[in-house]
């Protein structure tokens, strides 16, 4: 009898709690953890734009908070836990290195939703992962680079040899070689995501070696600025960097996280949030190409055509025949790479003039 | 006119005690002005910085997690700095300690036994000490500049770790991401009170190390030797102390403690090796050592204060929306005032009016 009473009380309380959640008097709290400063004009800047979009779309219904420059490692877990304890309903952890910390904290706070960018671990039902198919944009850049370069060599400032970056280099090379089979790419490993000084040095070194196109997989605008000073062309990364190279930027891969963030925060608010593993690209609008500038009309038209064919799903950048760097076959004629292989990519395709640091 | 620092013949005992509090008061005042100028309520801001992180149990645990490596490294460095051995490479010794200690769980994950953890700690200590021995031997034997050698070895250690986690030690199930496999249960340093938070035994190690070194430095002949050689190597020689052996001793102690900090951090707080396992603990510990006036007990306090300023910085970012930069500027103010107050106890400022002194003379006088 007593037990029944307790159960009933608990049930009533539970209902009451559910009732207040539905009443939605309280704003939903969305929190963001950034790996860099919001003023990097690259990766973190774009995530922060997403936060601003959430604020704009949901107005008073949402409250936001963020922590910037949170180091990956032991500090991340504390930062995430602090958010979980401070009443956040949904927490976006926006760097790969937060993966284990996100999952650990998620296990302790089953009522809070966690969204981890670029990771693959979803150890609890309240953890989702999301990422974008940046390689689609890289392929288009490769096409443009081969059309625009007189030297036939592009410089690639890369961060770390993780699959995401290797995949980007391969897509760029494949795009370029679809135009000019002899096109070469020189890769410099900066071993950092954000270090304007190092990135600028890498750009200078590459230009001194004769490249006339710079592309980057690091987050600062320094390479764009160096390219502008030295009069070569460059591609922006993560955000539209046209301000930093009005005469220099050909296009940029823009990460547009806003729509996803708005959708997920709304889902929490409406109680429809479910665990997902999203890998979206041009078609879904998560990857956006900045305007094609500083190039002749025919190149622009070609770039738009390639972009359209990828967006419509008619063409996949990793379509065979493609050989690995050592000449062994990887994809047969017409074969398309599966996502699992791409996400674990640890080899170059034929034509990359670099050795993977190992 | 120029400004000179003149050593005071006698230090005021009263102000020696008051100095940290004076510094804190000045920091609070300057911080309040900064927050006011930013349009934030200074009282709320300071509350989030210094009080809020102390109000919750989990947050106290986090304080211990953050302070443990700082204290552990800094007490070791105090032995070096007191004997005037400028070990700037604790960051590298921290990393090599972590790497050496991780050999068992990473390379021999099949070895599952309670013996793993003690062995890991010992190997971490040995790794850190061995790495510190390099600049020590170079200095003792060839009289090289230990500031340069120890600092340069930090970069070697960082790149070595980077290479390990991208190459031979990479997790075979990790999608080629640069990190080792997660440590198994026997290789994880336990939490002190698992129910309430994640502070691990590294904090206990830090406390024990600080107490032991405090005793050694203040109550034993060895401690006397450290200080005498630091203050006057010549007097030390007359007393029969060997400065060469002191170099080795100081570096081994601080290397061993930095190595212990490294393996404790990896095994207790992170759970695997990653390309970067320290946000600069080895360098921050230098500040902690001086903030604590090279006294192990002072270092405990200094380590906790510095850790608190990190936690408070985060709390302030979240609660009142100041940026990460403001939090760090505030941290900088704290350090500045503490060191400035300490300096003014030992020195006084003299304004020298130079009516007719040419630039060369002034420079020579300064040097």
Q: What is the pLDDT of residues A87-99, one digit of tens each?
A: 999 999 999 889 9
Instruction: Answer left, alpha or beta for residue A234, where phi above 0 means left and psi between -120 and 50 means alpha.
Output: beta
Do the Cβ atoms of A78 and B275 come within 8 Å?
no
Is A11 exposed, middle or buried, given 0-12, 13-18 or 19+ CB atoms closer than 10 A? exposed
Measure the CA–CA gap between A172 and B194, rounded to whole angstroms: 49
Instruction: Give chain A's contact residues with B (Cβ, < 8 Å).
Output: 31, 37-38, 65-69, 71-75, 77-79, 81-83, 85-86, 96-97, 100, 120, 160-163, 191, 343-346, 357-358
**B4 in contact with A, Cβ within 8 Å:** no
Segment A97-148, tens digit of pLDDT: 899 999 999 999 999 999 999 888 999 999 999 999 999 999 999 999 999 9
Residue B356 buriedness (CB in 10 A; 0-12 / 13-18 / 19+) = exposed
Identify which of B178, B315, B319 has the shortest CB distance to residue A160: B178
For residue B58, the distance in angstroms to the closest alpha carbon of chain A comes to 9
Give Cα B90 to chain centroid, integer Å.
8
B307, closest residue in chain A (CA to CA): A75
Cβ separation B62–A160 shorter than 8 A: no
Quick check: B274 and A65 CB within 8 A?
A: no
pLDDT of A30 higher than 90 = yes
Examine the pLDDT at A301 and tell me if it is beyond 50.
Answer: yes
Looking at the partner chain, which of A73, A81, A161 has a beta carbon nearest the beta carbon of B274?
Answer: A73
pLDDT for res B365: 43
**Considering only CB atoms, which chain A residues are within 8 Å of B277?**
73
This prediction has a pTM of 0.80
pLDDT tens, B220-273?
A: 999 999 999 988 888 888 888 888 999 999 999 999 999 999 999 999 999 999
> What's the CA gap between B4 and B248, in Å, rounded?
36
Spatial distance between the Cα atoms of B339 and B306, rounded to a whole number of angstroms: 14
- The nearest CA of chain A is from the CA of B166 a distance in Å of 6
A165 to chain B: nearest residue by CA? B177
Q: CATH 2.40.110.20: does it fit domain A135-254+288-343?
A: no
Q: What is the pLDDT of residues B179-191, one digit of tens each?
A: 899 999 999 999 9
pLDDT of B324 above 60: yes
Which residues of A89-166 form beta strands (DSSP E)? 90-93, 113-117, 127-132, 153-158
| Closest chain B CA to residue A162 | B177
Give the dihedral sign, CA B309/B311/B312/B314.
positive
Q: Which residue of A has its CA nearest to B159?
A: A191
3-state secondary structure of B347: strand
Q: 3-state DSSP call for residue B356?
A: coil
Cβ B157 vs Cβ B95: under 8 Å: yes
Q: Distance from B93 to chain A by nearest Cα, in Å? A: 18
Question: What residues of A are in contact with residue B308 (Cβ under 8 Å)?
Answer: none
CA B272 to chain A, closest CA, distance in angstroms equals: 10
Nearest beta carbon to residue A74 from set B176, B177, B265: B265
Whether the CB-CB separation of A348 and A161 falls below 8 Å is answered with: no
Mark yes or no for CB contact B319/A86 under 8 Å. Answer: yes
Token pair in block for residue B278:
């320290």
Residues in A closer than 8 angstroms to B177, CB to CB, are 96, 162-163
Interchain contact B318–A (C-beta under 8 A): yes
Contact at CB, A162 and B318, closer than 8 angstroms? no
**Of B176, B199, B268, which to mutate for an interface test with A (greatest number of A Cβ within 10 Å)?**
B176
Indicate the SS3 state at residue A186: strand
Query: Which among A75, A83, A346 has the least Cβ separation from residue B176?
Result: A346
Predicted confidence at residue B355, as pLDDT, reads: 58
Asked if B323's CB is within 8 angstroms of A71's CB, the reply is no
* Residues of chain B above pLDDT 90, percent: 57
User: Chain A within 8 Å of B175 (Cβ-Cβ)?
Assistant: yes
Q: Which of A351, A248, A331, A326 is nearest to A290 (CA)?
A: A248
How far apart, in whole angstroms, are the C-alpha atoms of residue B259 and residue B130? 9
CA distance B103 to B176: 20
Rg for chain B, CA atoms, rounded: 23
d(CA B177, CA A257): 23
Backbone angles phi, psi at A247, to 5 degrees: -100, 0
Q: Among B112, B94, B314, which Cα is nearest to A70's?
A: B314
In tens, the pLDDT along B115-130 reads: 999 999 999 999 999 9
Distance CA B278, CA A13 (A): 45
Confidence band for A350, pLDDT divided at 50, 70 and 90: confident
Q: Which DSSP symbol is given to B177?
A: -
The Cα diameter of chain B in Å comes to 78
What confidence category does residue A358 fall into, taking pLDDT thresholds of 50, 70 and 90? low
Take residue B42 and report the two structure tokens written for it: 């200074």
For residue B265, which of B66, B36, B8 has the smallest C-alpha distance? Answer: B66
Give B139's contacts (C-beta < 8 A, 6+ positions apart). Answer: B85, B145, B146, B149, B247
The beta-strand segments (E) located in A34-88 are 62-67
Compute how many other C-beta atoms are within 10 angstroms of the C-beta atom of residue A268.
Answer: 18
Cα B218–chain centre separation: 21
Report the residue of B324, B326, B327, B331 to disrupt the A interface, i.e. the one with the largest count of A CBs within 10 Å.
B324
Residues of chain A with CATH 3.40.50.2300: 28-132, 135-254+288-343
Sign of the Cα pseudo-torsion (A152, A155, A161, A164, in order): negative
Query: For residues A316 and A337, is the Cβ–Cβ distance under 8 A?
Result: yes
Backbone angles phi, psi at B112, to 5 degrees: -115, 105
| Residues 256-315 (B) with a CB less than 8 A from some CB of A | 265, 269-272, 274-279, 310-311, 314-315
Question: Would you say residue B291 has pLDDT above 90?
Answer: no
| Integer Cα distance of B192 and B292 in angstroms | 25
Strand, coil or helix: what is A217? Answer: coil
Highest mean pLDDT among A45-54, B290-299, B336-345, B358-367: A45-54
- Give the C-alpha separation, A20 to A43, whole Å: 37
Q: Is the pLDDT of residue B363 over 60?
A: no
Beta strand A90-93 with A28-33 is parallel
Q: Which residues of B touch A87 (CB under 8 A)?
A: none
Residue B30 binned pLDDT confidence (cut-offs 50, 70, 90): very high
What's chain B's average pLDDT?
89
Report CB contact under 8 Å: A73, B278. Answer: yes
Structure tokens at B307: 């850790």
The better pLDDT of the pair B351, A227 is held by A227
**Which of B277, B314, B323 is facing A79, going by the closest CB pair?**
B314
Q: Which two tokens stand for residue A3?
A: 């037990």
Burial class from Cβ neighbours inside 10 Å (0-12, 13-18, 19+) for residue B119 reads middle
* Residue B260 to residue A283: CA distance in whole angstroms: 51
* Angstrom distance (rounded) from CA A44 to CA A220: 10
- The whole-chain average pLDDT of chain A stands at 90
**Number of other CB atoms surrounding residue A335 within 10 Å:** 15
CB B343 within 8 A of CB B22: no
Is there a contact between A68 and B323 if contact means CB atoms under 8 Å apart?
A: yes
Q: Which of B66, B70, B175 to mutate to test the interface with A (most CBs of A within 10 A)?
A: B175
Integer Cα distance of B246 and B252 in angstroms: 10
Contact indicator for B117, B248 with CB cutoff of 8 Å: no
Asked if A73 lies within 8 A of B167 by C-beta distance, the reply is: no
pLDDT in the model for residue A148: 96
SS (H, E, C) B114-151: CCHHHHHHHHHHHHHHHHHHHHHHHHHHHCCCHHHHHH
**Beta-bridge partners for A154:** A185, A213
Which of B165, B317, B322, B325 is best to mutate for the A interface (most A CBs within 10 A)?
B317
Q: List pLDDT tens digits, range A172-226.
A: 999 999 999 999 999 999 888 889 999 999 999 999 999 999 999 998 999 999 9
How far, in Å, are A115, A130, A164, A284 from residue A260 at the CA level?
A: 11, 9, 20, 10
DSSP one-letter code for B52: G
Strands laid side by side in the A213-216 sheet = A184-189, A153-158, A213-216, A233-238, A249-255, A287-289
**CATH for the stretch A28-132:** 3.40.50.2300
Q: Which residues pair with A323 in a beta bridge?
A: A329
| Cis preceding linkage at A321, omega within 30 | yes
Judged against a pLDDT cut of 50, whether residue A339 lies above it is answered with yes
Q: What are phi and psi of B114, to 5 degrees?
A: -65, -20
Q: Is B254 on the interface with A (CB under 8 A)?
A: no
pLDDT at B350 over 90: no
Closest CA to A231 of A215, A212, A244: A212
């Amino acid at each position: 009898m007593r037990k029944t009473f307790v159960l009933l009380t608990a049930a009533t309380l539970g209902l009451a709690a559910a009732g207040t959640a539905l009443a939605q008097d309280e704003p939903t709290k969305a929190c963001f953890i950034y790996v860099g400063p919001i003023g990097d004009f690259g990766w973190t800047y774009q995530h922060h734009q997403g936060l601003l979009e959430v604020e704009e779309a949901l107005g008073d219904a949402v409250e936001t908070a963020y922590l910037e420059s949170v180091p990956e490692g032991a500090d991340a877990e504390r930062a995430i836990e602090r958010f979980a304890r401070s009443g956040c309903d949904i927490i976006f952890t926006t760097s790969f290195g937060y993966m284990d910390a996100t999952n650990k904290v998620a296990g302790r706070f089953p009522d809070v939703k966690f969204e981890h960018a670029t990771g693959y671990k979803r150890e609890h039902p309240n953890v989702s992962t999301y990422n974008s198919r940046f390689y689609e944009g890289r392929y288009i850049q490769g096409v443009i680079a081969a059309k625009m370069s007189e030297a036939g060599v592009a410089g690639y400032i890369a961060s770390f040899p993780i699959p995401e970056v290797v995949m980007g280099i391969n897509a760029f090379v494949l795009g370029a070689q679809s135009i000019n089979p002899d096109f070469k790419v020189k890769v410099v490993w900066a071993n950092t995501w954000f270090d304007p000084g190092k990135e600028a040095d890498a750009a200078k070194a590459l230009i001194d070696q004769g490249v006339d196109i710079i592309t980057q997989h690091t987050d600062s605008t320094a390479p764009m600025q160096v390219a502008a000073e030295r009069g070569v062309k460059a591609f922006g990364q993560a955000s539209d960097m046209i301000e930093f190279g009005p005469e220099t930027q050909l296009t940029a891969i823009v990460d547009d996280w806003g729509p996803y963030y708005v959708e997920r925060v709304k889902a929490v608010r409406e109680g429809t949030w479910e665990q997902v593993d999203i890998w979206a690209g041009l078609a879904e609008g998560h990857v956006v190409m900045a305007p094609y500038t500083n190039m002749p009309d025919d190149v622009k038209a070609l770039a738009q055509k390639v972009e359209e064919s990828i967006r419509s799903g008619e063409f996949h950048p990793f379509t065979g025949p493609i050989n690995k760097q050592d000449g062994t076959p990887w994809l047969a004629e017409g074969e398309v790479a599966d996502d699992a292989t791409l996400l674990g990519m640890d080899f170059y395709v034929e034509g990359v003039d670099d050795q993977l640091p190992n | 006119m120029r400004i000179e620092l003149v050593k005071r013949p006698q230090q005021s005992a009263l102000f020696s005690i008051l100095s940290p509090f004076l510094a804190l008061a000045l920091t609070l005042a300057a911080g309040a002005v900064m927050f006011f100028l930013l349009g934030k309520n200074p009282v709320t801001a300071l509350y989030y910085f210094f009080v809020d992180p102390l109000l919750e149990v989990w947050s106290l645990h986090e304080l211990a997690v953050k302070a443990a490596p700082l204290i552990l490294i800094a007490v070791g460095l105090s032995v070096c700095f007191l004997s005037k051995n400028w070990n700037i490479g604790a960051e590298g010794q921290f990393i090599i300690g972590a790497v050496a200690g991780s050999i068992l769980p990473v390379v021999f994950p099949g070895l599952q036994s309670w013996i793993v953890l003690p062995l890991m700690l010992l190997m971490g200590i040995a790794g850190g000490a061995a790495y510190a021995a390099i600049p020590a031997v170079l200095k003792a034997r060839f009289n090289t500049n230990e500031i340069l050698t120890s600092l340069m070895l930090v970069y070697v250690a960082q790149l070595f770790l980077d290479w390990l986690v991208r190459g031979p030690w990479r997790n075979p199930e990790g999608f080629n991401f640069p990190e080792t496999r997660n440590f198994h249960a026997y290789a994880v340093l336990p939490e002190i009170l698992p129910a309430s938070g994640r502070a691990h035994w590294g904090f206990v190690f830090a406390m024990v190390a600080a107490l032991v070194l405090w005793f050694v430095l203040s109550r034993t002949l060895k401690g006397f030797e450290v200080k005498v050689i630091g203050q006057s190597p010549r007097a030390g020689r007359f007393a029969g102390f060997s400065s060469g052996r002191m170099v080795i001793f100081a570096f081994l102690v601080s290397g061993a403690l930095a190595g212990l900090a490294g393996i404790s951090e990896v095994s207790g707080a992170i759970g695997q090796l990653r390309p970067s396992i320290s946000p600069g603990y080895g360098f921050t510990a230098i500040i902690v050592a001086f903030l604590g006036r090279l006294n192990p007990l002072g270092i405990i306090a200094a380590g906790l204060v510095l850790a608190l300023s990190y936690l408070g910085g985060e709390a302030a970012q979240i609660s009142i929306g100041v940026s990460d930069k403001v939090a760090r500027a505030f941290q900088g103010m704290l350090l500045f005032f503490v060191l400035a107050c300490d300096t003014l106890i030992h020195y006084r400022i003299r304004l020298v009016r130079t009516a007719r002194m040419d630039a060369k003379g002034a420079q020579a006088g300064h040097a």
